[in-house]
Amino acid sequence: MTSKRYNSYSAFLKEKYGHRLQKVVIDAGFTCPNRDGKAGYGGCTYCNNAAFHPNYSTPDKSISEQIDEGIEFHKVRYRNSGGYLAYFQSFSNTYAPLEKLKAIYETALSHPLIEGLAIGTRPDCVDEEKLDYLQELSHRKIVIVEYGIESCYDKTLLRINRGHDFETARRAVEQTHKRGIWQCAHFILGLPGESREEMLQMSDIINELECNSLKFHQLQIIKNTPMEREFRERREDFVTFTLEEYLDFFIDLLERLRPEFCIERFAGEVPPRFVEEKPWGLVRNTELLRMLDKRLEERDSWQGKYCKFCRFS
């Protein structure tokens, strides 16, 4: 645990590697099995990938070009970056034959300023062969696998057209953990049909997962997605939060989570042009983190305070 009241992922990385590691987003032109027909069509109902990655990251550019432009971008925005990870973020970045994945990953790792990979993917897009390769790669470079799990409830995964069930996620996490690969699990808070109590109860399920880090985003309604139409037509099915409500809700969740989980994110932001409503205004991530620290202090709370899996509870 860091000096914060939660286990900060950025602080952990700095302590482990001696400097800040900044992710440089790469779009390598992947797709998803719920887009090409293998698991379904249309993609997840909330998804517009253009809303989640920077302008420098486009598949018409080579991987090297994206890395160079991304590093220049971060040098301006984050002056204290000491190293960089190639972050394959858009769509499902293990959804290709192994030989193609090897060529893509090795190209990124050949850049002199890239210290490792962060690979965003789906739990149904890994297998034993791919995980064996990532295990071998992790012995010489930093390798982080980020699984989009989104919800622990099959009813929700079906409703958002996810294309896999939670058992698939649990199995992928177990297989990745067996190989000693660092992994992050990503969840969205506020998906349709989930009550506040159900979202909090996910903590018991998450605590059983052998993940290293967790990433949470509040649901954001992106323009021109099926979820935007659903939100307009069935708003009563959605739990929405003001910023103050979300801070308290997330702390309620954080209190129930195992303290050894590193927390990568607790909220997200998309460019204003992708949303009709911006209920929190234009609050940047650094300000959100400051507000979380302040609210934790006010509540005299911390990660794992009420965790059933924690020996201190």
The full set of domain ranges for the chain reads: 9-299
Tokens of 177: 């953990």
Q: From CA 234, how far away is CA 204, in angstroms rounded?
A: 29
Residue 163's closest CA among 96, 269, 235, 91?
Answer: 91
Tokens of 56: 């420098």
201-to-80, 185, 264, 273 alpha-carbon distances in Å: 38, 16, 20, 34
pLDDT tens by residue, the chain, 313 residues: 457 999 999 899 888 888 889 999 999 999 999 999 999 999 999 998 776 777 888 899 999 999 999 999 888 776 666 789 999 999 999 999 999 999 999 999 999 999 999 999 999 999 999 999 999 999 999 999 999 999 999 999 999 999 999 999 999 999 999 999 999 999 999 999 999 999 999 999 999 999 999 999 999 999 999 999 999 999 999 999 999 999 999 999 999 999 999 999 999 888 778 887 777 877 888 899 999 999 999 999 999 999 986 644 3
Q: From CA 265, how far away is CA 281, in angstroms rounded?
A: 19
Q: From CA 24, how far away is CA 245, in angstroms rounded?
A: 32
pTM: 0.94
Provide the CATH topology of domain 9-299: TIM Barrel (3.20.20)
- 194-199, long-range: CB < 8 A, 24+ apart: 194/151, 194/153, 194/156, 194/239, 195/239, 196/239, 196/249, 198/153, 199/239, 199/249, 199/253
Q: If you search the block for the tokens 């920077």, which residue do you land on?
A: 54
CB of 309 closer than 8 Å to CB of 205: no
